[in-house]
Chains A and B, each alone.
Chain A
């Protein structure tokens, strides 16, 4: 997870930003209240994904992550090995591609 934040314009939501722009991809960062950071890299040529889609994807990711954290057998900081989480991420990637 990239620790430094890009100094881009704040969108409507304070916890979602586009990070360093590159010629080929868009990098989005999302931070939760507990300072957990998600990073999503999207191909620039993919015009189907607007801010709204990105936002909803992050929200889905956040919810799923919260579920993982609620698992009493999970030690925070460990590698996430939840099948539900994996499936959700995979389904999100398939939907985009």
Chain B
């Protein structure tokens, strides 16, 4: 068929090739006779057709050739022909030798022939096509000229396409059509821009026929001819062009491109008709598109198998969807989507549309499912339309779903829902709307949500789902994407329903609150959300109404959950006030529920540290981490998407509610205040918020974050605490009294009865005031405190104060100084030990001695007395020492100020008792002295006596003191006293040591022995203190055993020989004992003399241990052996006597040992202490030892 369509301008040789002459030449004669003439004639014919493409083939016979082996090459027929015809083109003559034989030579010659033929054919085509294309291009260039016609040009370029198609060059053929397509589109666009071409006006004629694409025939001759006759409409041209493109694409095995191009074409055609302002009867285009879609789909189905189609739904689904859409609009147009069916006008329109379809084409007449038949049937009746429309819709939805284009599927579903709504079948529409809405909600498409909700509202209204309808209405009424009027409409729907008298009273319709109003913030007053029993708590909430009009709410109710706190201490005011430091405002996060950004966006973990402390000592009881939004994180995923389900809201009923009646909620923020009187102590948790409008209840099921308030009840309490860190004894100190009234109301005349402690005075200043504070630390009143004191009781009358208030006042107390009774515990060496009771508390030596005073207070609210212990610290620490100078004795008292205050000391006095003639002579003459904080002051007295003094002397030191800073004190303060005893203060022995250089030397030298002379002199006769175990009596002479020991602790001396020994000392005045020993100085310089110690030597069998420490025993083993020897014989003769210092201890190594008792410091006077001896270095000692410390 194709060649018929190609014009005569093409060289016939190409398409009707005059086969080259094949000459089976036998000899030259024959050639000359006939063949040459024939060839000449043929050549003339070719010339007449101006064809330049020819080829002469000479077939040679092999056998013949062999016979004429010696023929000259020049004279062969081949040469002759070449000479005659191929003057310039020698390649136009080909020799084919023995074509029927099977030899290599034959093969070769065939190959050569075919190659030549192919080359020449290609050359010929190239030349001719090039020429044609040039002509075509020239024609196209003329398109701006007035007479140019697109149809004419169309035919020319199509011819080229035919040529390519015939040559099986489908790709090239397709390019020709695509170019035509693009050119035409360009013209249409330009026309739209005002640049119209004359020829285009022809395409603007009204559309009269809309019979769709025809793809079953390779060439739609009918349409082609109409184009040729320039009678084609735009749809005709487009249809024809597409049918050709389709054919070629199918040849190229690209059916999916057909589908995709078809969709583009259909969209494009609709646009072009609009652009060219072509008048189209209503529905005509829909018919055309519907038919075309189905035609394309059927054509594709015709050339693909099922599996291929199924796997390429993505390409075809667009056409399905488009067809569905168009059928739907046809249905609406022709009145097929209604309850009543089409009216006469609709029927007329249907008839017109069907007329435009024309008669069915012969090629589809036999097929049962042809697009033409389908459309005709669908438009024939309401039932048929429904069937076809549902078929198409379901197929499309299924396809979209299968390729994952859920949104597109939902969109078709929404159309279907609309269809059902028109058909008054809302129950069928509902699933589609719900499905679409769920999808939009999950993905957060705000506008589609609004649109779908509007549809759904209508659907639910028809279905009579009152709750669902009201809920959707509330959502729509709060939807900002709707106009004010629409929102009002939906709001009115709710209010109208609410105002209707309900058929069953008490029936409630529970709706979620978030669409109606949102809880923005909540504010407690008092701000710590803690209130005592009977107190008033107000809660102010801010509700943001989403409704477009003011809504009268009958009541707003907050359900409160009450729980008795297990930890009873939580209920104390201190704990609660300490733990709620927030300003009492709780903000609620704005609800993001309507448009979740994504399903996966779970709220972030809200983790908080939790510390629970013990109330008594504030130590940590428990600690942990609390996740505050567990309910958000752990809830089921599905529930988050079922936001539309009202069933999830359960109205809680409880005995504890906060209520606020007759409130008008204006659009926007509203403040609502709840007031409640606290009843039972415990914790109250706000659970639900409900607003009731008639029988409609809007419920906020959970108030989150958790809001709580606490109610507590408290017993009255009295606290007494010092104002300063610690109270000092001896001077007036301020103490703060705090009465926490709790539930008790303090009446006029109520008083605190303080039973006086012995050593503590309560001072009563004239103008002392009590201040009454409210629970929130606001001062409410103050009053003068009236205090009445008697011997035993101090009565403080309290000012009247209501319950849950605090009364505070200050009193001054004075602890009378009392020196710790030291008695026998002092020793002559100084440093009296602190009182045993306080020893444990002393961590360092500088802690103050404390005394406790207990005060028992009778409170008006209790039959029991409150005992309060106040601890006072003695600001001073006192030590004493006995100092000797020969037989003269001095007492030194050191007063150390441990407090942070400065004091003035005055009138120091040492009382030695009346019974003795001892006279302390003070060496300090100043009467007043200042003692600063952390400093010490010394007082010294010389003891003088005339008679023999007693062995023990009780002393009492007293000094007046007052704080240095205060000018005047209202009362006279008691002096500070310190009692101690001085014992054994009478000097018995004088020890004198002397070192003399070796004889003949002037100075001592290092390394050379020097002599040490120790002179022990008894200073008194037998005294009371001498009567102990060591005393022996013979012939009225008394003697005592003493041990001396020479020790050099500073290692300056090396004692040679015995360093110690036992001597028997006569107990008589001026009795002396001389000891001589050798010492060697180890260093040069002024060296202090080695120490000489004296001990009493006591018999071994006594149960008392010595005062010598174990170290010295071990150090000097020889001594211990020595002592054993000396002691053994006479040990039994001595009686034992108790001693103040004796402390039991086990005997060393189980052996009987003599005991040593150090002589008290007051009994021995070392007259050589402090003296030094000059030691010069020895001559041969060249080594100078330098020790650097």
- Which residue of the partner chain, among B314, B322, B404, contacts A23 with CB atoms under 8 Å? B322
Task: Tell me if B670 counts as interface (CB < 8 A to partner A).
Answer: no
A21 lies within 8 A of B189 (CB): no
CA distance A4 to B189 in the complex (A): 31
Smallest Cβ distance from B700 to chain A, in angstroms?
27
CB pair A8–B322 under 8 Å, yes or no, is: no
Q: Which A residues, 13 to 55, have Cβ-Cβ distances below 8 Å to chain B?
A: 20-23, 44-45, 47
Apart from A23-B270, A45-B274, what are 7 other A-B pairs with CB-CB below 8 Å?
A7-B314, A20-B408, A23-B266, A23-B267, A45-B275, A47-B189, A47-B275
Smallest CB separation, B175 vs chain A (Å): 15
29 contacts between A and B (CB under 8 A): A4-B404, A4-B405, A7-B260, A7-B314, A7-B315, A8-B260, A9-B260, A20-B318, A20-B408, A21-B263, A21-B264, A21-B267, A21-B318, A22-B267, A23-B266, A23-B267, A23-B270, A23-B322, A23-B325, A44-B267, A44-B271, A45-B271, A45-B274, A45-B275, A47-B189, A47-B192, A47-B193, A47-B271, A47-B275
A7 to B404 alpha-carbon distance, docked (Å): 13
Chain B residues within an 8 Å CB radius of A7? 260, 314-315
Within 8 A of A (CB), among B230-281: 260, 263-264, 266-267, 270-271, 274-275
Interface contact tally, CB-CB below 8 A: 29
How long is the Cα–Cα vector from A41 to B613 in the complex, in angstroms?
63
With a CB–CB cut-off of 8 A, which chain A residues contact B405?
4
* Across-interface contacts of B271 in A (CB, < 8 A): 44-45, 47
CB distance from A18 to the nearest CB of B (A): 9
Residues on the B chain within 8 Å of A8, using CB: 260
The distance in angstroms between the C-alpha atoms of A44 and B322, with both chains bound, is 15
Chain A residue at smallest Cβ distance from B264 = A21
- Expressed in whole angstroms, the Cα–Cα distance for A23 and B266 within the complex equals 8
Identify the 4 closest CB pairs spanning chains A and B, nearest first.
A47-B189, A7-B314, A44-B271, A23-B267
> Which residues of B sit under 8 angstroms from A4, Cβ to Cβ?
404-405
For chain B, the bracket of interface size reads 20 to 34
- Taking the closest CB of chain A, its distance from the CB of B402, in whole angstroms, is 13
CB-CB nearest in chain B for A43: B271
Interface size counted on chain A using CB atoms at 8 A: 11
**Residues of B contacting A22 in the complex (Cβ-Cβ under 8 angstroms):** 267
Complexed CA–CA distance, A31 and B263 (Å) = 24
What distance in Å separates the Cβ of B192 from its nearest Cβ neighbour in chain A?
A: 6
Interface string of A44-87 (1 = CB under 8 A from B): 11010000000000000000000000000000000000000000
A23 to B274 Cα, complex, angstroms: 12
Cα–Cα, bound, A47→B275 (Å): 9
Residues of chain A at the chain B interface (Cβ within 8 Å): 4, 7-9, 20-23, 44-45, 47
A19–B1075 Cα gap in the complex (Å)? 126
8 A Cβ contacts from B185-236 to A:
189, 192-193
Within 8 A of A (CB), among B838-869: none
In the bound complex, CA of A35 to CA of B446 (Å): 24
CB-defined contacts of B315 to chain A, threshold 8 Å: 7
Chain B residues, CB < 8 A from A47: 189, 192-193, 271, 275
Cβ contacts under 8 Å, B193 to chain A:
47
In the complex, what's the smallest C-beta–C-beta distance from B685 to chain A, in angstroms?
Answer: 35
In the complex, residue of chain B having the shortest beta-carbon distance to the beta carbon of A44: B271
Residues of the A chain whose Cβ atoms lie less than 8 Å from the Cβ of B408: 20
B-chain residues with CB within 8 Å of residue A20 when the two chains form the complex? 318, 408
Query: How many angstroms between the C-alpha atoms of A47 and B264 in the bound complex?
Result: 15
A8–B318 Cα gap in the complex (Å)? 12
List of A residues within 8 angstroms of B325 by Cβ: 23
- CA A4 – CA B193 in complex, angstroms? 35
A20 to B318, CA, bound (A): 8
In whole angstroms, how far apart are the Cα atoms of A9 and B271 in the complex?
A: 21
Q: Mark B381-424, 1 if CB is under 8 A from A, else 0.
A: 00000000000000000000000110010000000000000000
How many angstroms from the CA of A41 to the CA of B527 in the assembled complex? 54
Assembly CA distance A45 to B405 (angstroms): 26
Find the A residue at minimum CB distance from B408: A20
Nearest CB on A from B835, distance (A): 70
* B266 proximity list for chain A (CB < 8 A): 23
CA distance A4 to B314 in the complex (A): 12
**Interface 1/0 per residue, B325-368 and A, CB below 8 Å:** 10000000000000000000000000000000000000000000
* Nearest-CB residue, chain B, relative to A9: B260
Q: How far is the CA of A23 from the CA of B265 in the complex (A)?
A: 10
| CA–CA, A48 and B314, complex, Å | 29
A50's nearest neighbour on chain B, judged by CB, is B189
Residue numbers in A under 8 Å from B274 (CB-CB): 45
Q: How near does chain B come to A22, taking the closest CB pair, in angstroms?
A: 8
A2–B275 CA distance with the chains assembled, in angstroms: 30
Q: Tell me the smallest distance from the CB of A15 to a CB of chain B, in Å.
A: 20
* In the complex, chain B residues whose CB is within 8 Å of the CB of A45: 271, 274-275
Contacts of B322 in A (CB 8 A): 23
Q: Within the assembled complex, what's the spacing in Å between the Cα atoms of A4 and B1068? A: 127
Q: How far is the CB of B311 from chain A (nearest CB, A)?
A: 12
**A23 cross-chain contacts in B, Cβ below 8 A:** 266-267, 270, 322, 325
Closest to A8 in B: B260
Complex-state Cα separation, A22 to B270, whole angstroms: 11
Expressed in whole angstroms, the minimum distance between the Cβ of B551 and any Cβ of chain A is 32
- Give the residues in chain A near B189, CB-CB below 8 Å: 47
Chain B proximity of A7: nearest CB distance (Å): 5
> In the complex, what's the smallest C-beta–C-beta distance from B270 to chain A, in angstroms?
6
Compute how far the CA of A44 lies from the CA of B193 in the bound complex, rounded to whole angstroms.
Answer: 15
In the complex, chain A residues whose CB is within 8 Å of the CB of B275 = 45, 47
Closest chain A CB from B185 CB (angstroms): 10
Within 8 A of A (CB), among B535-562: none
State in angstroms the CA–CA spacing of A20 and B314 once bound together.
10
A23 to B404: give the CA distance in the assembly, Å. 21
Min C-beta distance of A17 to chain B, whole Å: 12
- B491 → A minimal CB distance (Å): 29
Collect the chain B residues with CB atoms within 8 Å of residue A44's CB: 267, 271
Distance in angstroms between the alpha carbons of A23 and B289 in the assembled complex: 11
Measured CB to CB, the closest approach of chain B to A6, in angstroms, equals: 9
Within the assembled complex, what's the spacing in Å between the Cα atoms of A9 and B256?
A: 11
Give bound CA distance, A22 to B266, whole Å: 10
Nearest B residue (CB) for A47: B189
B765-800 CB contacts (< 8 Å) to partner A: none
Q: Per-residue CB proximity of B305-320 to A under 8 Å, as 1/0?
A: 0000000001100100
CA distance A93 to B315 in the complex (A): 31
Chain A residues whose C-beta falls within 8 Å of the C-beta of B263 in the assembled complex = 21
Contacts of B404 in A (CB 8 A): 4
Instruction: Looking at the assembled complex, report how far the CB atom of A12 sits from the nearest CB atom of chain B, in whole angstroms.
Output: 16
Instruction: Name the B residues within 8 Å of A9 (CB-CB).
Output: 260
> Given the complex of chains A and B, what is the CA–CA distance between A51 and B271 in angstroms?
17
CA distance A31 to B881 in the complex (A): 99
Q: Which chain B residue shows the least CB distance to A46?
A: B271
Q: What is the CA–CA distance of A47 and B267 in the complex, to the nearest angstrom?
A: 13
Complex Cα distance A45/B264, Å?
A: 13
Q: Which residue of A lies closest to B256 (CB)?
A: A7
Q: Give B257's nearest chain A residue, CB to CB.
A: A9
Report A88 CB to chain B, min CB distance, Å.
Answer: 23
How far, in angstroms, from A50 to B1045 measured CA to CA in the complex? 123
Instruction: Kindly list chain A residues whose C-beta atoms are within 8 Å of the C-beta of B264.
Output: 21
Q: Once the chains are docked, how many angstroms separate the CA of A22 from the CA of B405?
A: 14
Q: Which residue of B lies closest to A18 (CB)?
A: B264
Q: How far is the CA of A8 from the CA of B267 in the complex (A)?
A: 15
Contact string, B163-202, partner A, CB cutoff 8 A, digits 1/0?
0000000000000000000000000010011000000000
CA A23 to CA B268, docked complex, whole Å:
8
Nearest to B314 among chain A residues (CB) is A7
- Nearest A residue (CB) for B403: A4
Query: In the complex, A26 Cα to B314 Cα: how many Å?
Result: 18
Residue of B nearest to A26 (CB): B267
CB of B293 to closest CB in A, whole Å: 12
A27 vs chain B, min Cβ distance (A): 12
Chain B nearest CB, measured from A52 CB (Å): 14
Give Cα A9–Cα B257 distance, bound, in whole angstroms. Answer: 9
Q: Which residue of A lies closest to B322 (CB)?
A: A23
CA distance A85 to B360 in the complex (A): 57
CB distance from A63 to the nearest CB of B (A): 26
